[in-house]
Amino acid sequence: MPENAAEPVRKQLDALYRAESRRILATLIRLLGDFDLAEDAMHDAFATALERWPQDGVPASPRAWLVSTGRFKAIDALRRRARFDASKEKIAEQLESGSGAAAEVTDDGIADDRLRLIFTCCHPALAPEARLALTLRQVCGLTTEEIARAFLTSPPTLAQRIVRAKAKIREARIPYQVPSPEELPERLATVLQVIYLVFNEGYSASSGASLTRADLSGEAIRLGRLLVQLLPEPEVTGLLALMLLQESRRAARTSPAGELVLLDGQDRSLWDRGQIAEGIALAERALRSQRFGPYTLQAAIAAVHSEASDTGSTDWAQIVVLYALLARIEPSPVVELNRAVAVAMCHGPAAGLALIDALLARGELADYHLAHSARADLHRRLGNVAAARSAYEKALALARQEPERRFLEKRLQELSEKK
Amino acid sequence: MKYICLGYIAPEKFENLSETELNAMMDECFSYDDELRQHGHFAGGEALQPPQSAATLRWENGKVAVTDGPYAETKEQIGGILILEARDLNHAIQLMSQHPGVKAGPFEIRPAADLSEMIRESELRRAARPESK
């Protein structure tokens, strides 16, 4: 076979790998019942394609060819191992006799397999950090090194986390299935939480010198899009809307020098209009369902901000109402804090300050730097310089992220200049 | 597959219950156990006497030391174990979520380990050493 015949096939296989490898893997995990076996089988199938396609031609349905080749390769591999371990022969026989229907690759089946993979990787019996790692590795196809870099951990630590999670799936027999309708709301909440954690890790890294890690946010949005396509529940749509609306502000959120820019100081011409339009449309769709939850409400709040040309013309009254709804379905002191800030914008700093002081008096937010910096900000607007200074200092003592710390230091500096 | 369900309870939770309330809870639990039995999911189980009745053995300085009380002094103690026959972890979670005992304290669900291979290998080792007992 001449070299030049192999080259176009290699290119086509590269493209197929990028577009289809996650789907093929999801189906092979179902057919073979084992993550590691499926991964080896998929790579064997692509290697075989590279050998055979230049001679035999590209099959009519490349994806189905790769799945069935992978399946046979796995059965072969088990047979070879059966020479040393008799139990493998039984597994190989079971896999071989697996009904033809189960091995058939339909588009519907593939969609189900991808959902199965997502729900299995986000199973509540797995440790939360293992869910993140496993989802990024298996569903998104990121390498262990890429995930480790994004989460500032070492590749061996991360690899061990993934190995342990796969062992738990095997040993505790976590099934490869989409939850039943009764279980769906709770299990879906875990999946959405994983996606939003990935997004936030990319949007507002919890520690470190850089404020955002854009590739993780992009990955989370891709996951959100996939889930909307596979399971168009209102909250799934709401989460995608929320992520797009937050992501639309990325360019305006940090100054060229890497400083944090808060919403009221952002250059709104830098906001991504395409993401805003898509986010608003999705948020409206989720709201119309009447079955929305916290993600949709947060998206609606972000949408109100996106529609205003500046803080002054923002519909704060509507934001206060949305936060009150959010506090009712998902009570949390952080939501209360956000509502207080919106009340301050709507009815003046003193009204907001009273709410924040009451919240702090309850003790829950005493160690939350944003509560102190919001309080400082309202005191500053009321001209209470001493109270503002002591609140900014408290916030500074609690803030861990460099850009946030620099922001607070700058505010303190401005206060002393005023005097 | 077998799952061992460890049912934890906080004994002080029961001290304030009236006899009627206690009976109602027990009836609920036993009737669900019966339901599990009818469908072949109840592969065994025992309730435990209170932790004060426990004796704990441990190897110390080359011999067995006996102490009174449970191994871990925690607020919630194992109140009983149930051996559940289930298809997979989701099935086990689904079955135990409906057990009224979950309202009295958490269930820890642990898959049973299959040691048959390990035992077979051990038997081979022991057979190869006829002098050992």
Q: What is the ipTM of this complex?
A: 0.81
pLDDT, tens digit (0-9, with 9 covering 90-100), for A309-363 = 888 899 999 999 999 999 999 899 999 999 999 999 999 999 999 999 999 999 8
Q: Which residues of A touch B111 (CB under 8 A)?
A: 171-173
Rounded-to-integer distance, Cα A183 and Cα A113, Å: 18
Neighbouring residues of B111: CB distance < 8 A, sequence distance ≥ 6: A171, A172, A173, B1, B2, B3, B4, B89
pTM of this prediction?
A: 0.82
Which residue from A87, A173, A179 is facing B88, i.e. has the nearest CB?
A173
Structure confidence at residue A165 as a pLDDT band (50, 70, 90) = very high
Answer whether residue B67 is part of any domain.
no
Q: Which of A173, A174, A178, A183 to mutate to test the interface with B (most CBs of B within 10 A)?
A: A173
Structure confidence at residue A105 as a pLDDT band (50, 70, 90) = low
pLDDT, tens digit (0-9, with 9 covering 90-100), for A189-246 = 999 999 998 898 887 654 444 545 667 888 899 999 999 999 999 999 999 999 999 9
CA distances from A24 to A20, A36, A106, B112 (A): 6, 14, 12, 32
Q: How far apart are the CA of B88 and the nearest CA of chain A, in angstroms? A: 5
pLDDT for the residue numbered A108: 63
Structure confidence at residue A107 as a pLDDT band (50, 70, 90) = low
Q: Which residues of A touch B87 (CB under 8 A)?
A: 173, 175
Q: Which residues of B touch A172 (CB under 8 A)?
A: 89, 111
Assign domain A315-419 to its CATH architecture.
Answer: Alpha Horseshoe (1.25)
Q: How far apart are the CA of A371 and the nearest CA of chain B, in angstroms? A: 35
Report the percent of chain A where pLDDT is more than 90. 67
pLDDT, tens digit (0-9, with 9 covering 90-100), for B57-106 = 999 999 999 999 898 888 889 999 999 999 999 999 999 999 999 988 99
**Residue A183 at interface with chain B, using a CB cutoff of 8 Å:** yes
Looking at every residue in chain A, the average pLDDT score rounds to 89
Nearest Cα residue in chain B from A126: B89
Least confident of A146-155, A373-382, B27-36, B109-118: A146-155
Domain boundaries, chain A: 3-104, 315-419
Q: Which 8-state DSSP code applies to residue A138?
A: I
pLDDT for the residue numbered A101: 44
pLDDT for the residue numbered A397: 94
Neighbouring residues of B49: CB distance < 8 A, sequence distance ≥ 6: none
Q: Which residues of B touch A175 (CB under 8 A)?
A: 87-91
Q: Is the pLDDT of residue B111 over 50?
A: yes
Number of other residues whose CB lies within 10 A of the CB of residue A221: 21
Which residue from A87, A175, A179 is facing B89, i.e. has the nearest CB?
A175
Structure confidence at residue A186 as a pLDDT band (50, 70, 90) = confident
Answer whether residue B72 is part of any domain.
no
Which residue from A87, A172, A179 is facing B89, i.e. has the nearest CB?
A172
Nearest Cα residue in chain A from B91: A175
Identify the domain containing residue B18 by its residue range. 2-48+77-127
Number of structural domains (chain B) is 1
**Residue A232 at interface with chain B, using a CB cutoff of 8 Å:** no
Query: φ and ψ at A23, to 5 degrees?
Result: -65, -45
Q: Is the pLDDT of residue A276 over 80?
A: yes
CATH of the domain at B81: 3.30.70.1060
Nearest Cα residue in chain B from A168: B111
Rounded-to-integer distance, Cα A287 and Cα A297, Å: 8
